[in-house]
Amino acid sequence: MTRVRRLGLTSLALCALTSGIACSEHEFATCDITQGACQEDVYYRVLKLRGDGYDPFGGLPPVTVISEDEFRQQLVTQAAASQDEKNPWDKALVLLHFTTAPKAAVDSDAGAGAGADGGAGSDAGSTTSTIDDEVAHIYAFYEPEKKTITVISHPNQTGSHVREEAMITLAHELVHALQDREFDLNKSDFQSSDEYFAWDAITEGDARFYENLFTNDIRKMLGLSALDALKLPDDELDWDYANFDQLGSPLFAARAMIYPLGAKFEATAYRSGGNAAVRHAYAKAPRRTVGFLVGDDGQVPPVGTGDFCNAFVVRDLLPTDPADKTIGADHFGALLLYTFLRGWNVSHDLAFTTAQTWTGDSLVVQANHDDTISAAAWYLEFSSPPPSTIVQALTATGELAVAANAGTLLITVADSPTPPSWTKSSICQ
């Protein structure tokens, strides 16, 4: 699901980067994406940008148009189902500040989740606010389980370039429909949140990269200067790093950052070999998010396996049976580590370089059966010892406890009335 993106990001030059099937019979002009003719025009332009020599759908992928009221009802139903599914991640992610916005930023992450068993809960007020925001600002989304694109009709929406922005969103979702012809976007056999975020980065990054190329076509149609589509992911990441407190909660920030991180990976591939290199990039894509954290030096950090278990639990207060729904385990990875550190007021440079040295982690969360006590223990390993300033930042408020050894950190937190006693466990094996 892609939110509104504005046309005027930068004013940089782009060379002509289009090849493939001819689509001169499909006139390219501003149009209404709720109309079939417009959907076809956008679709054929996307095929051309991707260099596709054939039309796999024979005209257009399945598209459904719904009203704002219908979309709102879908979101309300989804939110209600999410709130009914209590799990140990709910409070634990709050205690770790994963689902609360850093500083004074507004958290727009209601209902989003991470962890093997689910994610953050939210109160009714924040859920309503988020639904209102999504109804107002989402033009279209692709549903891999239904193999269809849904377009939301906004008949009363006002503003400059509203139709063009909707066309850009539709282009992004059409890329997802094309991806789903080549591999299963409904994939769900992820072993960890880290693996899921890495997969999402490549699929969303692919769609974002071609969205950027499509945006250039829109700009040229409007008589605006072209953008450097190969540099746009870096520009977007620079903005995210500099304005992290405006991205919402650390969990939501990670979900937002996978788009430019993945687009940067694809832009690098495109620079080396065009559309064919982008297709081949899927086979080479990192399975861990650390592989996407490429610094200004262009160096890709070593990719740790992440497949290890060095977990800790509170045995004296909380259940530890792996079959119990009050306990969960996961590997969160380097990207979520980066956003976590930023949420605890660690600077970008320090958080980024620390995340680049990630080699593996185990996060275990626990809760009692009446949901009155929660705890979380996050064990992390690094290729080099994290700076002492990291520990100072994480313990500054007294909420977290941090044990640092050579190349490891154990971060623990609990809301128990008595100090918890942490012991090593094999719960994550």
- How far is the C-alpha of 399 from the C-alpha of 344, rounded, in Å? 11
Task: Residue 232: name the closest of 211, 253, 254 by CA.
Answer: 211
Q: Which amino acid is at 194?
A: D
Q: How far apart are the first and last CA of the chain?
A: 33
Q: Which residues pair with 404 in a beta bridge?
A: 409
Q: How much of the chain, in percent, has pLDDT values that exceed 90? A: 66
Question: What pLDDT does 367 receive?
Answer: 93
Question: What pLDDT does 221 receive?
Answer: 92
Q: Please compute the mean of the pLDDT values over residues 289-297 and round it to a whole number.
A: 91
- How far is the C-alpha of 333 from the C-alpha of 290, rounded, in Å? 7
- Mean pLDDT score across all residues of the chain: 86
Question: What pLDDT does 6 receive?
Answer: 39
- How far is the C-alpha of 121 from the C-alpha of 79, rounded, in Å? 10
Q: How much of the chain, in percent, has pLDDT values that exceed 70? A: 86
Contact (CB, 8 A) for 315 and 421: yes
Q: Which amino acid is at 425?
A: S
Q: pLDDT, tens digit, for every residue of 356-398?
A: 999 999 999 999 988 899 999 999 999 999 999 999 999 999 9
- How far is the C-alpha of 215 from the C-alpha of 48, rounded, in Å? 14
Q: State the Rg of the chain over Cα.
A: 22
Q: Is 259 helix (H, G, I), strand (E, B) or coil?
A: helix
> At CA 140, angle to CA 18 and CA 188, rounded to 5?
90
Q: Both tokens of residue 417? A: 């009335």
DSSP for 358-386? EEEEEEEEEE-TTSS-EEEEEEEEESSPP
Q: pLDDT, tens digit, for every residue of 81-137?
A: 877 667 899 999 999 999 988 754 433 333 333 443 333 333 444 567 789 999 999
Q: How confident is the model at residue 155 (pLDDT cuts 50, 70, 90)?
A: very high
Question: What pLDDT does 120 receive?
Answer: 34
Question: What pLDDT does 104 receive?
Answer: 47
Give the containing element (helix H, strand E) for 404. Answer: strand 401-405
| Sheet of strand 140-143, all strands in order from the earlier edge strand to the far edge | 63-66, 148-152, 140-143
Higher pLDDT, 82 or 403: 403
Q: How confident is the model at residue 27 (pLDDT cuts 50, 70, 90)?
A: low
Question: What pLDDT does 26 receive?
Answer: 52
Question: What pLDDT does 350 receive?
Answer: 97
The least confident of 91-100, 245-254, 330-339, 366-375 is 366-375
- How far is the C-alpha of 401 from the C-alpha of 403, rounded, in Å? 7
Q: pLDDT, tens digit, for every residue of 40-70?
A: 999 999 999 999 888 999 889 999 999 999 9
Domain boundaries, the chain: 36-285, 311-425
Task: Residue 197: name the closest of 153, 241, 252, 269 by CA.
Answer: 252
- How far is the C-alpha of 345 from the C-alpha of 393, rounded, in Å? 7
What are the CA-CA distances from residue 333 to residues 54, 196, 198, 364, 389 (Å)? 39, 10, 9, 13, 21
Q: Which long-range contacts link 185-193 to residues 24+ away (Cβ below 8 Å)?
A: 185/142, 185/144, 186/144, 186/145, 191/307, 191/331, 192/116, 192/306, 192/330, 192/331, 192/332, 192/333, 193/114, 193/115, 193/116, 193/330, 193/331, 193/332, 193/333, 193/336
Higher pLDDT, 323 or 356: 356
- How far is the C-alpha of 29 from the C-alpha of 11, rounded, in Å? 21
Task: Report the helix count and the strand count for the chain, using DSSP H and E.
Answer: 11, 10
pTM: 0.87
Question: What pLDDT does 87 receive?
Answer: 86
Whether the per-residue pLDDT at 330 is higher than 70: the answer is: yes
Question: What pLDDT does 17 receive?
Answer: 28
Q: Please compute the mean of the pLDDT values over residues 261-281 and round it to a whole number.
A: 94
Task: Residue 153: name the closest of 39, 76, 37, 70 by CA.
Answer: 70
Task: Residue 211: name the closest of 262, 160, 247 by CA.
Answer: 262
Higher pLDDT, 319 or 388: 388
Q: pLDDT, tens digit, for every residue of 196-229?
A: 999 999 999 999 999 999 999 999 999 999 999 9
Question: What pLDDT does 361 receive?
Answer: 94
Q: Both tokens of residue 381? A: 């390993």
Question: What pLDDT does 123 receive?
Answer: 41
Question: What pLDDT does 105 receive?
Answer: 41
Whether the per-residue pLDDT at 305 is higher than 80: the answer is: no
Question: What pLDDT does 306 receive?
Answer: 67
Q: How confident is the model at residue 338 (pLDDT cuts 50, 70, 90)?
A: very high
Higher pLDDT, 68 or 78: 68
Q: Is 252 helix (H, G, I), strand (E, B) or coil?
A: helix
- How far is the C-alpha of 419 from the C-alpha of 413, rounded, in Å? 10
Contact (CB, 8 A) for 392 and 410: no
Q: 398: burial class by Cβ within 10 Å (0-12, 13-18, 19+)?
A: exposed
DSSP for 131-192? HHHHHHHB-EEEETTTTEEEEE--TT--STTHHHHHHHHHHHHHHHHHHHHHS-TT----SS
Contacts of 316 (CB under 8 A, 6+ apart): 420, 421
